[in-house]
Chain A
Amino acid sequence: MSEFGGMEDLLQDFLVEAGDMLSGVDNKLVDLERSPDDRGLLNDIFRGFHTIKGGAGFLNATELVTLCHLTESLFDKLRNGELSISAEAMDVILGATSAVREMFGYLEHRTQPPAADPALIEGLRATLAGAPVAPSAVAGSGVQLPRPGEPDWELLHAAVTGKPVSTSPAPRVHGAANAAQASSPIPVPAAPAPGSPEALIKAAVGRRSIDAPGGNGPIGRREGERQRDNSIRVDTARLDQVLNLSGEIGLTKNRLNALRSDILSGRNDTETLHALDLAVSQLDLLVSDLQNAVMKTRMQPIGRLFQKYPRIARDLARNLGKDVELVLVGEDTEIDKTMIEDLSDPIIHLIRNAVDHGVEDRAGRLAAGKPEKSNVRLEARQEGDHIVILVADDGRGMDAERLRSKAVAKGLISDEEASTMDDRQSYNLIFHPGFSMAEQVSDVSGRGVGMDVVRTNIQKLNGTIDIRSQQGKGTTLIISLPLTLAILPVLLVRLGEQPFAVPLSMVREILPIDPALIQEVGGKATMVVRGEVLQILPLSSLLGWPQEREPQYGVLMQAAELSFILAIDSFAGREDAVIKSLDDFRPKGVAGVTTLSNGQIVLILDMKELLGGLGEQRGVSRASLMRKTEVLALS
C-alpha cells in the first residue's frame, strides 16, 4: 500500500526535479573542495538543500526534512562566514548528500524513508556546533526545526509594523517566543564525535556498490529508475514548435482536401495540378520538420547524466589515495532520453576504471614526471549523425604485451592467436568476459565482470566502443552512439521475395557466397574471410524456414562476441527504419516492423534473439547449405 495516495504524480515530479538538484549539489560540493570560500557555490548548495526540504515537507517525508534542514543550517553558517569548511565538515556534508539520495531511493519505492544514521545526524550537529561561535547562537538559530503549524505571522507583523491585529490574543506572542526557546535545547556535543567521520566515509564509499553495473544493489535504485522512465521534462519552446507544425500540417491537409474535391469533380488543369504539387511538397517539408521536432522533445542534454560523475570520481580517488580531477566537456550535447539512462552504468564503470587502473598513484606520477594531480576527461560531442562519448585519462596507458600474456595465462586465447594480435586487438581483450586488468582484485574494480557488460550495454544501444591507448600517456575509451533509437538504420535483405531488415550497426560487409570457397569445419559450413574462419548461418534456418534456393550473398555480421556470415538470397539496400513494435504479438526473433516507401511491411530482425535460441547448434553442414542447389539442378 502506497503511503502517498493522491500524491503519486507529485512524488514523481519531486523525485525527478530533486534528483537533478541533488546531482547539481554533489557536483558543486566537488567544486567547493577546490574553492572552499566561493560564496556563490555555498549559496547554491544552501538553496539546493532548502528547496529539497520544502518539497519533502509537502510529501510528509519528515526524516528527509530533518536531514536537509540540518545540512542547510550548516551551509547557512558557512555562507555567512560563521563556520569555515574543513575536511571533516566536508565528509559530513558528503555523507548527508548520500543519505538524502538513499532517502530518494525509499521514496521511489513509495515508502517514507526512515531516520538517517544517528552518527550522521550527530556529525552534522557537531559540525554545526564546532565553530568559533557560542553554542547558544547555534542552538538558537540553526538547529530549530520548522514547526508545521502557525508561524505567528500576524502577530509578528503587527509587532513590527505597529498595527493592531484583531484576530489573535496578545499572549500568543509570548507563547511563540517560549516555544522557540523550548525547542532549542537540542543536544549539542562540545566536540566532533570521535570515529564518526570514518563511519561517514565508509557510508559514502559503501554506497558505490549500489551503483555498480551488474551489482546486486540493496536499495534497488535501478528498479526505481525504470519507473521514472515514463516522464520527461521538455522545454516548452520545443513543444510549441510541435504544436505549431501540427497546426500547419492541419492547414495543408485542408488544402489537399479541397484539391481532391476539385480533381474528383473533373478539374485537372495545370493550375490545379501545380497547386497539388505545391501542397504535397509543403506537406513533405512539414512532416519531416515535425519528425525532427518530435525527436527533439526526446533529446536531453547529456550534462544531466554527467553531473553525477565528479562526485563518484572524487569519492573513489580519495578512497584510493589519488588526486583526480574529472573534467566535463560538452555537457550541452543532446542525446535521446532513453539512452541517457542506459548509459549511466557503463560510464560509471569506465570512470572507475580510469581512476582505479588508468591513472597512477601520486608516487607513480611523480616518478613518471607528471603533475601529481591526474586528469580524467569525460567528453561528449556530436559527430554527424552520431554521438561520441570519450573517457580519457592521462595515466600510464595500456600494455598490449601484458594484456596478451594475461589472456593466454587465463586461457582466453591461444599462444598463436596472441602472436597475431596487433595492439588494438590486444586492448580489446579487456572486453572479453572473465578478463580482469587488475593484478589484485580491489573492492572497487577488478572482478573482471565489468568491461564485457559495458560493451554489451553499448551494443544494445546500437553503439560501439573502442580503445586508444599510448603507454605512459594515457587511455581513451570511445563510445559511439546513434543520435536516437527511434530511427534505426537497417540493411534490407531478401529471402525469396520476402524482405527482412537487419540492424546496419551489426553489418560489417556484404560478400558473395562462392560455393567453391565453402569449407566444412567440425561439420559446419564456414568461409574464410581475410584469415578469419566464419560460420555461415542461413537466414532461412535461423527462421526455421525451408531453404528454397542456394544462398547467393553473405552478410558479415558482428553480434556481441560472435562474428558470422548470414546467408541470404539477395539484398535490397539500406533504409532508415522507423520501428513499430508489435504490441501483444511478438514472434521470436522479430524486434518490430517498419513500412517501406512503397508501403510494404518489413519485419525487423532481432539477431541476438534469433541466434540465442539455437545455442551451440547454430551451424549447418555444407551439404544442407548446398542441398537446394542439387534439387534445383535436378528440376
Chain B
Amino acid sequence: MSDPKLKFLVVDDFSTMRRIVRNLLKELGYTNVDEAEDGAIALQKLNSGSFDFVVTDWNMPNMDGLTLLQTIRRTPQLKHLPVLMITAEAKKENIIAAAQAGASGYVVKPFTAVTLAEKLQKIFEKMGRTA
C-alpha cells in the first residue's frame, strides 16, 4: 500500500515546517510532495491535482486545518482522501475534534521519521481494511 509514487500535499503556513515534513517524507521514500500555505490554497490544489494523501497543520490563517479537513470530507471527489493532522497539542479536545471531523490520523509536533512512518502505516492498514 505504501507506494512511493503516492502524491502528498503538505499544508502549513510556516515554510520551515513544510520543509521538515517534506524531508521526513523523503526519508520514508515519498518524493512526490507538493506544498500549500493554508487550507484555502490546499483546497485549490486538491481540486485541480490528483493527490493521494494530505498532511496538514491545524493552526493556519485563512482556513485552518480542521476546516480544511471538514471541507474535504464534505466534498464528494475528495472525501476519500486520507488526512493526517499535525498539531503542537496533545490536548484531548483537539484530538476529539479531529476524530469527529474524520481525520485519518493525528501526530503531535515534534515527531521523527519513525513516528511518521508508524502513523502512515496505520492509516494505510486502515484503508486496506475498509477498501
Contacts of B93 in A (CB 8 A): 141
Q: A51 on the interface (CB 8 Å rule)?
A: yes
1/0 per position for B98-112, CB-CB distance to A under 8 A?
Answer: 011001011111100
In the complex, the answer to whether B17 meets A156 with C-beta atoms within 8 Å is no
Interfacial residues of chain B within 73-88, with CB under 8 A of chain A in the complex: 88
What distance in Å separates the Cβ of A70 from its nearest Cβ neighbour in chain B?
A: 13
Q: B20 on the interface (CB 8 Å rule)?
A: yes
Contacts of B5 in A (CB 8 A): none
Interfacial residues of chain A within 144-192, with CB under 8 A of chain B in the complex: 144, 146-148, 151-154, 156-157, 160-161, 167, 180
In the complex, the answer to whether B99 meets A157 with C-beta atoms within 8 Å is yes
Q: A53 on the interface (CB 8 Å rule)?
A: yes
Can you list 20 residue pairs at the A/B interface with Cβ under 8 Å? A10-B16, A14-B16, A17-B14, A18-B16, A44-B61, A47-B60, A51-B13, A54-B17, A54-B57, A54-B109, A60-B110, A144-B91, A146-B89, A146-B108, A151-B90, A153-B95, A153-B105, A153-B119, A157-B106, A160-B96
In the complex, the answer to whether A151 meets B109 with C-beta atoms within 8 Å is no
With both beta carbons as reference points, the residue of chain B lying nearest to A14 in the complex is identified as: B16
Q: Of the candidates B14, B92, B106, which one forms a contact with A54 in the assembled complex, judged by CB atoms under 8 Å apart?
A: B14
Q: A55 on the interface (CB 8 Å rule)?
A: yes
Question: Interface of chain A, helix or strand or loop or mixed?
Answer: helix
What distance in Å separates the Cβ of A178 from its nearest Cβ neighbour in chain B?
A: 13
Contacts of A54 in B (CB 8 A): 14, 17, 57, 88, 109-110
In the complex, the answer to whether A13 meets B19 with C-beta atoms within 8 Å is yes
In the complex, the answer to whether A51 meets B59 with C-beta atoms within 8 Å is yes
In the complex, the answer to whether A58 meets B14 with C-beta atoms within 8 Å is no
Q: B15 on the interface (CB 8 Å rule)?
A: yes
With both beta carbons as reference points, the residue of chain B lying nearest to A16 in the complex is identified as: B16
Contacts of A146 in B (CB 8 A): 88-90, 108-109
Contacts of A301 in B (CB 8 A): none
For the complex, give the distance between the alpha carbons of A146 and B92 in Å: 11
For the complex, give the distance between the alpha carbons of A54 and B110 in Å: 7
Q: B122 on the interface (CB 8 Å rule)?
A: yes
Contacts of B59 in A (CB 8 A): 46-47, 50-51
Q: Given contacts A156-B92, A160-B99, is CB(A55)–CB(B17) below 8 Å?
A: yes
For the complex, give the distance between the alpha carbons of A167 and B125 in Å: 11
In which size bucket is the chain B interface?
20 to 34
Contacts of B110 in A (CB 8 A): 54, 57-58, 60, 148
Contacts beyond the supplied A151-B95, A157-B99: 9 A-B pairs with Cβ under 8 Å: A13-B19, A47-B59, A47-B60, A53-B88, A146-B90, A147-B90, A152-B95, A153-B119, A156-B96
Contacts of A51 in B (CB 8 A): 13-14, 17, 59
User: Which residues of chain B have a CB within 8 Å of any CB of chain A?
Assistant: 13-17, 19-20, 57, 59-61, 88-93, 95-96, 99-100, 103, 105-110, 119, 122
For the complex, give the distance between the alpha carbons of A21 and B100 in Å: 32
For the complex, give the distance between the alpha carbons of A577 and B45 in Å: 45
Number of A-B contacts (CB under 8 A): 84
What distance in Å separates the Cβ of A610 from its nearest Cβ neighbour in chain B?
A: 45
What distance in Å separates the Cβ of B88 from its nearest Cβ neighbour in chain A?
A: 4
For the complex, give the distance between the alpha carbons of A141 and B90 in Å: 10
Contacts of B19 in A (CB 8 A): 10, 13
Interfacial residues of chain A within 425-482, with CB under 8 A of chain B in the complex: none
What distance in Å separates the Cβ of B100 from its nearest Cβ neighbour in chain A?
A: 6
Contacts of B88 in A (CB 8 A): 50, 53-54, 57, 69, 146
In the complex, the answer to whether A55 meets B16 with C-beta atoms within 8 Å is yes
Interface centre among A14, A60, A147 (most CB of B within 10 A): A14
What distance in Å separates the Cβ of B89 from its nearest Cβ neighbour in chain A?
A: 6
Contacts of A57 in B (CB 8 A): 88, 109-110
Q: Given contacts A58-B110, A167-B122, is CB(A161)–CB(B16) below 8 Å?
A: no
Interfacial residues of chain A within 48-65, with CB under 8 A of chain B in the complex: 50-51, 53-55, 57-58, 60
Contacts of A53 in B (CB 8 A): 88, 109
For the complex, give the distance between the alpha carbons of A18 and B19 in Å: 14
What distance in Å separates the Cβ of A215 from its nearest Cβ neighbour in chain B?
A: 30
Contacts of A58 in B (CB 8 A): 17, 20, 109-110
In the complex, the answer to whether B20 meets A161 with C-beta atoms within 8 Å is no
For the complex, give the distance between the alpha carbons of A60 and B20 in Å: 13
Contacts of B89 in A (CB 8 A): 146
With both beta carbons as reference points, the residue of chain B lying nearest to A47 in the complex is identified as: B59
Contacts of B100 in A (CB 8 A): 160-161
Q: Of the candidates B14, B91, B103, B109, which one forms a contact with A141 in the assembled complex, judged by CB atoms under 8 Å apart?
A: B91
For the complex, give the distance between the alpha carbons of A50 and B109 in Å: 11
